[in-house]
Chains A and B, each alone.
Chain A
């Protein structure tokens, strides 16, 4: 088991109260697993990613435990976490492309990052060049400033950079979202290549684009309003989802081959609740067509079949006598 997360709960402290962005997340990722993480914007995907790496204010650790390769991570202690960051687990944050330091050449940036981890840059150069070759980047990028690189090139630089020390876990947050379909495919396949070559043991790929996850992920975890809704092998999520939200989400996706004139897709009526004061129980309740009294309690995330987890009272058979 690469990663084991138990009851992880993280809020944002604001003047108006806590934003309950991540509530009792419990899931695990196996060695070699590429887990896709999807859900509408604002459902807590980035919060989950960032809290595993750098849980700093306004984020507030409420409860839970995270183990990486069996070792408990001090995620509520950002200083101690720096021993793990980049070497044991790495994140490519959303908008990382734009966050590259514009005044540093790429090579210098790599050297500084390695230096901060006590790793000798010169000794890493052959491996660095080998990896640039793999992502089809010329070694010249090391002498270039970020502004001289296209979006797709920057994204590949960030990928190489964040995996240079072979972390156990890489979290890639929306790294394909701003790219053309052609670059998107190349970058997504490179992530798989990184796993296949053992640069990373396992991966969390965050995107709101489920069709990309269908291409590269082994499993998909669906979140809704700060709660986990469903996790299953990719084909099961796409073909046989069980959570009412996942079903609606999958049904709303346009595909090549679907014309509105022939088959009109339907959206999901309503909007997600505000997380400042979310409703008690299942947070999908207000939009759910099969909700019943039991849903006033938060449904547990239960493994209904091997590898298939669902948080829905209906699927748990709780409505049998209702």
Chain B
């Protein structure tokens, strides 16, 4: 359904954009029909940048993003509009998607004006109410309210309802759970799982591993714009191979076991190296292997649907 082929993003930063910041580096993966793929990584690893490129909010610097066999950078006019009807995003801070001076349900009117101007108002109202009920909201309680009169979880569900109205095929969900309380969290997660079983594909961006595990079939582990490990969720979580993935696993607070005394490098231990592995300066395994400093390991298959970019498996 959606494929990233060698996608990179370079931001120009500093005065006069004099410095290049590689936010995403040569990333390739795909999301199949009705599949949930988790994109997991520390903050700054490039997760949102990937999401924004898929939503065409920013262009890729190189590489291609292909949706149903079409390179999305070539889409224009009606074809682009059609793309937005099929691919939508929901973001971390639900409040930022609303203008506080308008009622929250304006998001529904806007898509009617944009995409379904010929549908009669009464029929549209019915559809809006159905979508709200589908995301577990009571239309009578939430319609006609201003954003500040609704909770974060309700606003989040509004945005998912909007995606339902558009009948989207692909959803980019960028850290949408982190703002929510435990109880609401499960409801939104379960809602995504239900939509998935109705055929929706989801790129689920998170830094919380337990959420990624709960919902996704496959996981992509990102660090400094590079994929360090990816594959079937069971493999990644069951036998994490990359030292970075292992560190994330060991740090994730769990209810079934206590933290082990693993040392986490907050400061780089080794000197930074442009040529070698991106994780080199924080990697506890790196000293054993001199190649880590000089050679960037490629992402190689180590098992069925399990890839890792670490010199120890090259």
* A interface, CB within 8 angstroms of B: 40-41, 136, 151-152, 180-186, 188-189, 208-212, 214-215, 238, 248-250, 252-261, 264-268, 271
Contacts and interface: CB of A to CB of B under 8 A. Distances in A.
Given A185-B264, A256-B209, A267-B187, 16 more contacts: A40-B183, A181-B253, A182-B251, A182-B264, A208-B182, A210-B255, A215-B258, A253-B182, A256-B237, A256-B249, A256-B252, A258-B210, A259-B213, A259-B233, A260-B190, A266-B186
Contacts, number: 114
Given A40-B182, A267-B183, A253 B266 contact: no
B114 interface: no
13 contacts: A40-B182, A185-B264, A186-B264, A211-B254, A215-B253, A255-B210, A256-B210, A256-B213, A256-B249, A257-B213, A260-B189, A267-B183, A271-B151
Contacts of A250: 255
A295 B256 CA distance: 33
Nearest to B216: A259
B301 interface: no
B157 interface: no
Contacts of B258: 214-215
Contacts of A260: 189-190, 193, 214-215
Contacts of B255: 210-211, 214, 238, 250, 253, 255
Contact of A208 (B181, B213, B250, B254): B181
Contacts of A152: 266
Nearest to A41: B181
B251 A181 contact: yes
A267 B184 contact: yes
Contacts of A238: 255
Contacts of B264: 182, 185-186
B126 to A, nearest CB: 26
Interface in B174-230: 181-187, 189-190, 193, 207-211, 213-215
A182 B42 contact: yes
B247 interface: yes
A254 B185 contact: yes
Given A152-B266, A266-B186, A256 B181 contact: no
Interface in B138-168: 151
B254 A256 contact: yes
A188 B266 CA distance: 13
Given A211-B254, A215-B253, A257-B213, A182 B266 contact: yes
Contact of A265 (B42, B186, B256): B186
B267 interface: yes
B219 to A, nearest CB: 12
A40 B248 contact: no
B62 interface: no
A258 B207 contact: no
Contacts of A211: 210, 253-255
| Residue from A152, A184, A256 having most chain B Cβ neighbours under 10 A | A256
Interface string B295-314: 00000000000000000000
Nearest to B136: A267
Contacts of B252: 181, 256
Given A208-B181, A259-B213, A267-B186, A214 B253 contact: yes
Nearest to B263: A186
A267 B266 contact: no
A94 to B, nearest CB: 14
B43 interface: yes
Interface in B234-262: 237, 247-256, 258-259
A186 B187 contact: no
Nearest to A258: B214
A98 B9 CA distance: 29
Nearest to A40: B181
A215 B151 contact: no
B279 to A, nearest CB: 12
A183 B266 contact: yes
A11 B185 CA distance: 28
Contacts of A210: 182, 255
Contacts of A214: 253-255, 258
| Residue from A258, A261, A267 having most chain B Cβ neighbours under 10 A | A267
Contact of A249 (B43, B183, B187, B193): B183
A136 to B, nearest CB: 5
A136 B267 contact: yes
A320 B151 CA distance: 38
A252 B210 contact: no
A257 B253 CA distance: 13
A248 B213 CA distance: 21
A270 to B, nearest CB: 9
A265 B186 CA distance: 7
A184 B253 contact: yes
A254 B189 contact: yes
A181 B248 contact: yes
